[in-house]
């Protein structure tokens, strides 16, 4: 279809996509992830564990190149580096623009009759 998208999705909306559960990801530790791809439809689904499971899908991004993000670890009481897939790094980086757009749209709402 030619529509490029990237965003989070609720885990129960991924029927037929067997990603690891939050319990399994938690046992592997922070930075653990699981992914599935559908080459016919050109989509990837990723489940990543930070403090909780985050599930995202994309039609144009993948998991590579992986990078690291700094997170506070309460047990060790220090900042640690956590591995993050590219799809979630890109989502986090560009999410601020969407929030700003939504805020401005709400402030300057046009009345429809």
Question: Per residue in 1-14, pLDDT tens?
Answer: 578 888 888 888 88
pTM surpassing 0.85?
no
Residue 79 has pLDDT above 90, yes or no: yes
Report the C-alpha gap between 107 and 113 in whole angstroms: 18
Q: Domain ranges in the chain? A: 6-107
The residue among 15, 6, 5 whose CA lies nearest residue 56 is 6
**For residues 93-109, average pLDDT:** 79
Tokens 């699981």 found at:
34
In this prediction, residue 1 carries a pLDDT of: 58
Question: Quick check: bond before 55 cis, omega within 30?
Answer: no
Tens digits of residue pLDDT in 38-78 = 888 888 999 999 889 989 989 888 888 888 889 888 888 99
């Amino acid at each position: 279809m030619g529509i490029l998208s990237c965003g989070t999705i609720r885990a129960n909306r991924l029927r037929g996509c067997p990603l690891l559960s939050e319990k399994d990801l938690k046992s592997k530790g922070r930075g653990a992830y699981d992914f599935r791809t559908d080459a016919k439809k050109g989509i990837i689904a990723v489940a990543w564990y930070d403090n909780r499971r985050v599930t995202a899908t994309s039609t144009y991004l993948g998991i590579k190149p992986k990078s690291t993000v700094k997170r506070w670890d309460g047990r060790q009481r220090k900042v640690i580096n956590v591995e993050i897939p590219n799809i979630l790094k890109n989502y986090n980086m560009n999410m601020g623009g969407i929030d700003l757009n939504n805020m401005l749209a709400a402030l300057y709402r046009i009345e429809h009759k």
